Structure 1
Amino acid sequence: MSSRTVEARPGRFGGYGGRFVPESLVGACEELERAFHEAWGDTEFRDRLSGFLGDYAGRPTPLTPALRLSAELGVTVLLKREDLAHTGSHKINNVLGQALLAERMGKRRLIAETGAGSHGVATATAGALLGLPTTVFMGERDIERQALNVFRMRTLGAEVVPVTTGSRTLKDACTEALRHWVGAVDDSHYCLGSVMGPHPYPVMVREFQRVIGDEARRQVPAVPDFVVACVGGGSNAAGTFAGFLDTDAALIGVEAEGGAAVTRGSDGILHGFRTRLLQDAEGQIAEAHSIAPGLDYPGVGPEHAWFASTGQARYVTVGDTDVVAAVHRLARAEGIICALESAHAVAWLINAVAAGEIPAGASVLVTVSGRGDKDMATLMELA
């Protein structure tokens, strides 16, 4: 049995994490930290969240044996189907938790950032459910390539604010959301979408997402040899890995080749936390690239940076061409059209089997973090 554990020092994962924010946000982060710990220890809050996850979000999500793909590859492939959760991705798990926490704190409004739009849709959904007006910041470039999710957010009543600075993608949406929060801390909660940002967000979001790994652990017939998930900020991977940290399963986080902060980054500070970042020798943040907008971020959650430094998990990359091929292969083998983000995990699985990194007969759990509806326009352009 493995002895892998999560760093216990509050707000820190080894040398990563922490809270590096303007003085105007220190009080808000401290208030959120207190509120989360009180709520997480409150049976009534946990029961209410579980009720929403079950009756509203549709949990537990299934564990689907990928029978035809398994036969093709010569390994046992099990798919954790977050694409079947309400709104079409794992994002709803975290957002319902944070929205209920905001309500408990007396906050009357939600703020969010989004790249692929999935987190924005989930936040708009929770805002509509609980009667909390929602403002979502989204890079102008992502608005153009994710028009369907933008329309979904607006249909749900959210305000979508285009971000026109920088690369006009997820990094810049995060920057604008944090800047907006500075002037709205009294009545607004910043519903951050991944395991990044200042403490307590990385810990809090992981705890809201660990439902993925805890469910999968109960659902698998035996501990799999490999547990695989895509990594941008890394919330679906952190939630999945949490269920298998005390096992000998090999934990594999798959980054976009053009956004490989763990694999090719260096230590630095961005958006209020210390982590691995894509940056130049002078510490200027480099632009990330991925065909999957949810992975188009130059950093990674601090827990993932720590896992990589300690060897508790392994981080790898795949390129856009392999990702698109993986979408089509999974679709034709299993009738499942996954999101481009999720396809990174599928692509690595296919490549790793071909390279002999996964031996014949091994068992592999892959988290399908979202469905591919949002990516149809991109795939049509490439057809």
Structure 2
Amino acid sequence: MSNDLFNSFMTGPDENGRFGDFGGRFVSETLMPLILDLEAEYEKAKDDPTFWAEMDDLWKHYVGRPSPLYFASRITEELGGAKIYLKRDELNHTGAHKVNNVLGQIILARRMGKTRIIAETGAGQHGVATATVCAKFGLKCVVYMGAHDVQRQAPNVFRMRLLGAEVVPVTSGRGTLKDAMNDALRDWVTNVRDTFYCIGTVAGPHPYPAMVRDFQSIIGKEVRWQLAEQEGEGRLPDTVIAAIGGGSNAMGLFYPFLDDKEVNIIGVEAGGRGVDEKMEHCASLTGGRPGVLHGNRTYLLQDDDGQILEGYSISAGLDYPGIGPEHSWLHDTKRAQYVSITDKEALEAFQFSCAMEGIIPALEPSHALAHVMKIAGDLPKDHIIVMNMCGRGDKDVQTVARHLGFDMSDTEGRSAD
């Protein structure tokens, strides 16, 4: 791996950090010098071989990359159509794709002389990854997490604290990811001297959306050569599919294929209890409209007065009421298709993956798998779908058990009814 990856694809923000009408940098005067310093440091790092040498070494020996590209033979046979490959990023150290990006940001933070790292987290996977890398480098770590998510993602809260992080429950709003990001930004404004904000998704003010995407692009880069090895030189996937909250795992898979017009790109949002006027979902592109949140302009769930609504999803990692600005641009330019999957469909896909492949997925990629289940049977047998299995499901087993009516405290495994 080298910085050649980022010289290979020309799609990106303009000098103002905009993807068409989306993105930008809407921050307070206090934060602007920090943002500009970060942008300058990242631009310098992109052309520095020693930066990428350190990243390559850690990705390989600490994270465990490359993650496997696995042909899901039983799922393929059961669905009866396209060949299904799973990009196994749940096998990374910390159990998700998040560590790919965290490593890059914290190396930048160290280069900038920052000693205190703050982060927001929803499902806890970004928080765990941040706490993990901070422990490795001996940095102070503070993770903001919605109080509601602290309850439903208790195993990851315990992991973060074991790793030495301070976990701050956020009680404002509905106590979810949006509210955690609000409080993290307030912290950053207050502690500008020694603090680096490690954002977990392709959102926030420029340069975060492009920078996080660049670090996550290792996912799609690997898929290109892995599929060529398994299917023959020059073979590209016909379709790539990933779940989307803010959208970092999806952009990591999509970005290296944007210039390959023959590759279909599908992002799967959280449909919650159904995409309707009640807004009991987090499908920003399906049920939202453009606005400004957390330093960038993108599609958001909002009311008629422009007030941000509280999204809902069974998945703590998908219940963000917005989406990364590059996804908004891909949506409006029709380079990518975006769909939604309900809680019920995601739960069915969760169980399907367990039964058919012996892989317990997180609820996030269960949404992507649910869409694969909808479309694969109608596609020809030589059609190749690559889906990003972006997280493992140990963090979600309590949530799933509760929704399926099982009492985990009952050693007989009986229904809670």
Task: State how far apart, in whole Å, the 2-side matches of 1:5 and 1:352 are.
Answer: 31
CA RMSD of aligned residues (A): 1.1
Task: State how far apart, in whole Å, the 1-side matches of 2:365 and 2:12 are.
Answer: 27
Report whether the alignment pairs 1:347 with 2:370: yes
Query: CA shift at 1:359, angstroms?
Result: 4.3
Task: State how far apart, in whole Å, the 2-side matches of 1:224 and 1:42 are.
Answer: 32
Query: CA shift at 1:363, angstroms?
Result: 1.1
Query: CA shift at 1:44, angstroms?
Result: 0.3
Q: Which runs of 5+ in 2 are unaligned?
A: 1-8, 272-280, 405-417
TM-score (norm: length of structure 1): 0.97
Query: CA shift at 1:187, angstroms?
Result: 0.4
Report whether the alignment pairs 1:15 with 2:42: no
Moved more, 256-265 or 116-125: 256-265
Task: State how far apart, in whole Å, the 1-side matches of 2:122 and 2:330 are.
Answer: 24
Task: State how far apart, in whole Å, the 2-side matches of 1:150 and 1:81 are.
Answer: 24
Instruction: Please name the residue that 2:49 is paired with.
Output: 43
Report whether the alignment pairs 1:234 with 2:247: yes
Instruction: Please name the residue that 2:222 is paired with.
Output: 215
- The correspondence of residues 125-144 of structure 1 with structure 2, limited to 5 A, is 125-144=132-151
2:270 is matched with which residue: 256, 263, 275? 256
Report whether the alignment pairs 1:246 with 2:259: yes
Task: State how far apart, in whole Å, the 1-side matches of 2:385 and 2:330 are.
Answer: 20
Instruction: Please name the residue that 2:305 is paired with.
Output: 282
Task: State how far apart, in whole Å, the 2-side matches of 1:180 and 1:8 are.
Answer: 27
Report whether the alignment pairs 1:81 with 2:104: no
Instruction: Please name the residue that 1:382 is paired with.
Output: 403
- 2:321 is paired with a residue of what secondary structure? coil
Task: State how far apart, in whole Å, the 1-side matches of 2:199 and 2:36 are.
Answer: 15
Report whether the alignment pairs 1:225 with 2:232: no
Instruction: Please name the residue that 2:163 is paired with.
Output: 156
Is the CA contact 2:12–2:210 (under 8 Å) kept in the aligned structure 1? no
Instruction: Please name the residue that 1:172 is paired with.
Output: 179
- 1:102 is paired with a residue of what secondary structure? helix
Task: State how far apart, in whole Å, the 1-side matches of 2:398 and 2:65 are.
Answer: 29
- 1:55 is paired with a residue of what secondary structure? helix
1:319 is matched with which residue: 333, 338, 342? 342
Q: Which amino acid aligns with 1:96?
A: L
Q: Which runs of 5+ in 1 are unaligned?
A: none
Instruction: Please name the residue that 1:188 is paired with.
Output: 195
- 1:369 is paired with a residue of what secondary structure? coil
Moved over 4 A (4+): none
Task: State how far apart, in whole Å, the 1-side matches of 2:315 and 2:48 are.
Answer: 37
Report whether the alignment pairs 1:271 with 2:278: no
Q: Which amino acid aligns with 1:229?
A: A
Is the CA contact 1:216–1:243 (under 8 Å) kept in the aligned structure 2? no
Task: State how far apart, in whole Å, the 2-side matches of 1:176 and 1:300 are.
Answer: 19
- Per-residue CA deviations over 1:135-181 (Å, capped at 9, x if unaligned) read 00000000000000000000000000000000100000000000100
Query: CA shift at 1:318, angstroms?
Result: 0.4
Is the CA contact 1:15–1:306 (under 8 Å) kept in the aligned structure 2? yes
Query: CA shift at 1:225, angstroms?
Result: 1.1
Query: CA shift at 1:271, angstroms?
Result: 0.4
Instruction: Please name the residue that 2:412 is paired with.
Output: none
- 1:56 is paired with a residue of what secondary structure? helix
Task: State how far apart, in whole Å, the 2-side matches of 1:377 and 1:281 are.
Answer: 36
The change in CA–CA distance for 1:104 and 1:17 in structure 2 (over 3 A counts) is same
Task: State how far apart, in whole Å, the 2-side matches of 1:201 and 1:381 are.
Answer: 36
TM-score (norm: length of structure 2): 0.89
Query: CA shift at 1:382, angstroms?
Result: 2.0
Task: State how far apart, in whole Å, the 1-side matches of 2:11 and 2:363 are.
Answer: 29
Is the CA contact 1:18–1:199 (under 8 Å) kept in the aligned structure 2? yes
2:11 is matched with which residue: 6, 9, 22? 6
Is the CA contact 2:85–2:386 (under 8 Å) kept in the aligned structure 1? yes
- Per-residue CA deviations over 1:291-327 (Å, capped at 9, x if unaligned) read 1100000000000000000011000000000000001
- Per-residue CA deviations over 1:93-130 (Å, capped at 9, x if unaligned) read 00000011100110001000000000000000000001
- 1:259 is paired with a residue of what secondary structure? coil
Task: State how far apart, in whole Å, the 2-side matches of 1:328 and 1:110 are.
Answer: 37
Is the CA contact 1:265–1:277 (under 8 Å) kept in the aligned structure 2? yes
Task: State how far apart, in whole Å, the 1-side matches of 2:191 and 2:369 are.
Answer: 40
Query: CA shift at 1:8, angstroms?
Result: 4.3
Task: State how far apart, in whole Å, the 2-side matches of 1:199 and 1:18 are.
Answer: 6
- 2:257 is paired with a residue of what secondary structure? coil
Q: Number of aligned pairs?
A: 378
Q: Which amino acid aligns with 2:395?
A: K
Question: Higher Cα Rg: structure 1 or 2?
Answer: 2
